[in-house]
Amino acid sequence: MKRVLVVAASLTLVAVLVSTVAAGPLAQGGQAVISSPRGPVTVRGSVLISGTAMHPEFSFYKVEYAPGTNPRDDQWILIGATHTTPVQNGLLETWHTQGLVPDGTYSLRLRVVRRDGNFDEDIVRQITVANAMPTETPTPAATPTPTKTSTPLPPTPTIVIEVPVVVTPEPPTPVPNTQPTPAPSASFSLNRLVSSMCWGAGVALGLFLLVGFLALVRQLYRLIAER
């Protein structure tokens, strides 16, 4: 019985080692993000909806709107049409609200559909449509107050004394430094860090399993030698 358990454990370790070595890097995940507009915000007219709609198994994406901040699934209305080209940090759709969407509070939804029918989505709430501008109340014109007419007095002689004018030169105005300060370039990449960690963990696990497998083979060899 002991030998059977040892052989079964050996086969399990070999299978795990083979699957670890043969496995490739993990595929990048999809993204469904509306970057603009983000609630709470008030919009009117034609609203540009920007963001990212991508996935390795991408089929299409669509942008929808619905009234309220927690709409039901049957209340969503398609904006424009479905799109079969992925978008990364670009224009997803243009929402024309003037004369088509009543004023009020709405939610926006981006749904990225994959080839297997599953999807990723992002919902933005508290988008207020306000196309109707408030009517201004006219201000009544003020009635001018009549002024009293006074009898003019005889002119008073004016004595003019000329005083020399001393001009003091103004100090030169310092010119500000208009050279733009270079923005620090960001060299941190989250995807690269995750990939490096996954690769390092796979290598470490493979080495650990290889050492365990060699030790197990050595133990089996001793058991066979004892027989």
Q: What is the pLDDT of residues 200-210, one digit of tens each?
A: 888 888 888 88
Q: Summarize the confidence of residues 22-29 as an average pLDDT.
A: 37
109 within a domain of the structure (yes/no): yes
| pLDDT above 80 for 156 | no
Q: Is residue 147, in this structure, part of any structural domain at all?
A: no
Q: Tally the domains of the chain.
A: 1
Give a yes or no: residue 53 inside a domain.
yes
Q: Which of 29-38, 64-73, 81-90, 167-176 has the lowest mean pLDDT?
A: 167-176
165 Cβ neighbours under 8 A, 6+ residues apart: none
pLDDT for res 24: 33
> Which pair of structure tokens corresponds to residue 33?
């993000």
Calculate the alpha carbon distances from 172 to 169, 175, 178, 179 in Å: 9, 9, 17, 20
**What pLDDT shows up at residue 127?**
97
Which of 3-12, 39-48, 114-123, 175-184 is the least confident region? Answer: 3-12
Is the residue at 45 inside a domain? yes
Return the half-sphere exposure (C-beta side, CA atoms, 13 A cut-off) of residue 40. Answer: 5
Query: Domain containing 44: what range?
Result: 31-129
Adjacency order of strands within the sheet including 87-96: 31-36, 46-54, 87-96
pLDDT score of 173 more than 70: no
Domain-located, residue 222: no
Q: Mean pLDDT throughout 47-52?
A: 97
pLDDT of residue 203: 82
Mean pLDDT check: name the lowest of 77-81, 107-111, 173-177, 180-184: 180-184
On the question of pLDDT at 18 being above 80, the answer is: no
Q: Is residue 62 part of a domain?
A: yes
Query: What's the rounded Cα separation, in Å, for the pair 147 and 44?
Result: 50
Report, as an integer, the average pLDDT of 124-141: 77
Q: Is 50 part of any domain?
A: yes
Question: CA angle 210-8-215, nearest 5°?
Answer: 30
pLDDT band at 56 (very low <50, low <70, confident <90, very high): very high
The pLDDT-based confidence of 168 (bands split at 50, 70, 90) is low
Indicate whether 103 belongs to any domain: yes
pLDDT of the residue at 27: 36
Read off the CATH number of the domain in which 114 is found: 2.60.40
Provide the pLDDT confidence category of residue 181 given band limits of 50, 70 and 90: low
Residue 185 has a pLDDT of 47
Checking if the pLDDT of 75 tops 80, the result is yes
